[in-house]
A and B are shown apart, each in its own frame.
Chain A
Amino acid sequence: MQPDQSSRAVHCPHRGSHVCQEDYGNASHFKCPYHGWVFKNDGSFVGAPEMQAAYGGRLNASEWGLRRAPKVDSIHGFIFACLSEEAESLRDYLGGAAWMFDAIFGLHPDGVKALAPPERFILHADWKSGAENFVGDTYHIGTAHHSVTLTGYLPGDVREGGQYAHGFLFENGHEFLGYRLPEWFGPPFKYWGFPEELASQFDLSALDETQRELLVTVPPSVGTIFPNFSYLRMPEPPGPGEFPIPNTDIRVWSPIAPGVMEVWHWQFNFAFMPEEYQRKAYLSGQYTFGAGGIFEQDDMTIWEGASKAAQSPWNRKVGAELNYQQKRPEPNPDWKGPGQFFDTYYGEYLQAGFWKQWLKMMRNG
Chain B
Amino acid sequence: MKTMLMERSVGSTMEMSHLASRFLSLEAKLLDERRYDEWLDMLGDQITYEVPIRLSRREFVDETKSGCYHICDNKELLKLRVARFHCGEAWAERPASRTLRVVGSVLVNPTDEEAIFEVDSALLLCRQRNSDRPCDTIAVRRSDRISLGAERPLLLSRRAIPIDTVLHTPNLSVFV
| Chain B interface SS verdict (over half) | loop
A292 contacts B by Cβ under 8 Å: yes
Q: Is B91 touching A144 in the complex (CB atoms < 8 A)? A: yes
Contacting residue for A117 out of B65, B89, B91, CB 8 A: B65
- Chain A's interface: helix, strand, loop or mixed, by majority? mixed
> Which A residues are CB-close (under 8 A) to B88?
150
Q: What A residues does B171 contact at CB under 8 A?
A: 121, 123, 291-293, 296-297, 300-301
Interface membership of chain A positions 160-198, coded 1 if the CB is closer than 8 angstroms to chain B and 0 otherwise? 000000000000000000000000000000000000000
Question: How many Å lie between the Cα of A297 and that of B171 in the bound state?
Answer: 5
B58 touches A301 (CB 8 A): no
Nearest CB of chain B from residue A124's CB, rounded to whole Å:
7
Q: Are A23 and B165 in contact (CB under 8 A)?
A: yes
Q: Per-residue 0/1 for A289-306: is the Cβ within 8 Å of any B Cβ (1 yes, 0 no)?
A: 011111011101110100
Q: Pick from A24, A124, A282 the residue with the most CB of B within 10 Å.
A: A24
| Docked complex: A256-293 residues within 8 A CB-CB of B | 262, 279, 282-283, 286-287, 290-293
Q: How many residues does chain A have at the interface if contact means C-beta atoms less than 8 Å apart?
A: 42
Q: Looking at the assembled complex, report how far the CB atom of A244 sits from the nearest CB atom of chain B, in whole angstroms.
A: 14
Residue of A125, A146, A292, A294 touching B70 (CB-CB under 8 A): A292
Return the chain A residue nearest B97 by Cβ: A301
Residues of B in contact, count (CB < 8 Å): 40
CB within 8 Å for A22 and B57 given contacts A116-B68, A123-B170, A287-B73: yes
Alpha-carbon gap, A304 to B68, bound state (A) = 27
Q: Tell which of A124, A239, A283, A287 touches B170, judged by Cβ atoms closer than 8 Å.
A: A124
Interface residues of B (CB under 8 A from A): 51, 53, 55-58, 62, 65, 67-74, 76-77, 80-81, 83-84, 87-92, 129, 131, 133, 165-173
Known: A290-B69, A293-B171. 10 other contacts (CB 8 A): A120-B165, A121-B169, A123-B171, A153-B80, A240-B77, A286-B69, A292-B173, A294-B80, A294-B84, A294-B90
